[in-house]
Amino acid sequence: MRPIGEKCETFRSLGKEVLSADVEERDKRGAKDAADWRALWRAAADAGVLALTVPEQFGGEGRSFLDAVQALHALGEGCRDNGMLLGLNGQLWAMQKSILEFGSEEQKSAWLPVLINGDAICAHAVTETNSGSDVTGIRATAQKTQNGYVLNGEKIWIGMAPAADVAQVFALTNPDLGAWGMSAFIVDLNLPGISRSAPYEKTGHRTVPTGKLVFENVEIPQASLLGSEGSGHAIFNLSIAWERSFIFSSHVGAMKRQLDETVLFARDRAPNGRPIINNQTVSNRLADMQVRYEIARLLIENAARELDAGIQNRMTPSVAKLQVAESLLENALDAQRINGASGYLTGECERMVRDMAGTITLGGTSDIQRLLIAAYQKGSVKA
């Protein structure tokens, strides 16, 4: 296995030379045409982006959490397509890790190789109209039959849904128990009775699709059950912890690139012959941007080190998600302010603001993270 430093350099070059291609035009078009992003997804898979934490027996590299987030950070330093970064990290952390940790040997052998090599794309189907950051309002059902289950329900705001081949779907197998009667399933999205929406028109992260999945009397085999019946809540809690801790690993790399470029702009922009970096207001903003970046990077790396050491601290994902997401948006806004009128034009600055605005909602809102952190501090939820 190649040293992590070499892997980082490969990913940085991949992001810059391949994944950033035509990003402004693709952002304007949105993700309606799969040809716009499928080839880029395949290029990322071919480079090993989706293989980082998957064991070698399933075609992966079996790297540590820390190695993985450092490599993904480097990918973000080079890649200007934040939508692609979000999609790749979402599959890596929310879906593949769940299959690896809770799947049967048959499920792992069937799905992990095709997911990491780009032959299949997976969606994480949790959110419903009345169930988002809090999954206790879930209403989708999976009724037991002689040969498996009949799945009914509607999932909204699902990343990759319009084009995914498979989905990790959460549904109630025992509605009387509420969230504790929830189970998780690996569902082939080519089965009869499944429909999907066109990609949503989004403010940011427009280069990969998000949409709705509808399940109407879908017959799924017993082998689709992930883990055991009723374990869906536990599976969700762990999968969302991985997602909240690491899904923005590459976005923090993009934050680093934006910071470096903003510093250079402030050095070069010199009305009346005096670089604006010498203005205290500008230099203070740049200092704040540097501090936010360093904290965000360290929080993600700390979460990785804890998991590598076998430490399961339930507060860590919420702290990381809250601080990283808020910092991504604040840095994007500060960069736009420093760039002045040019930062308000359609382009890199305004696209970063649009993309980073979504991070405070994705994977659980900032307000939900504050509530969770407070609950851990009160002792009402064990950290």
Could you give the dihedral angle defined by the CA atoms of residues 238, 300, 67 and 168, in that order, rounded to the nearest 10 degrees?
Answer: 30
- Longest Cα–Cα distance of the chain, Å, equals 80
Cα 332 to Cα 324: distance, rounded to the nearest angstrom: 12
Structure tokens of 278? 């010498």
Total H helices, total E strands in the chain: 13, 8
- Check if the beta carbon of residue 303 is closer than 8 Å to that of residue 93: no
Task: Choose, from 61, 128, 243, 301, the residue flagged as catalytic.
Answer: 243
The β-bridge partners of 141 are 152, 172
Alpha helices for the chain (secondary structure H): 4-14, 23-29, 35-46, 65-78, 82-90, 97-102, 105-116, 232-246, 249-268, 280-308, 315-344, 348-357, 366-378
- Terminal CA-to-CA distance of the chain, rounded, Å? 35
Q: Note if 243 is an active site residue.
A: yes
**Residues assigned a catalytic role:** 243
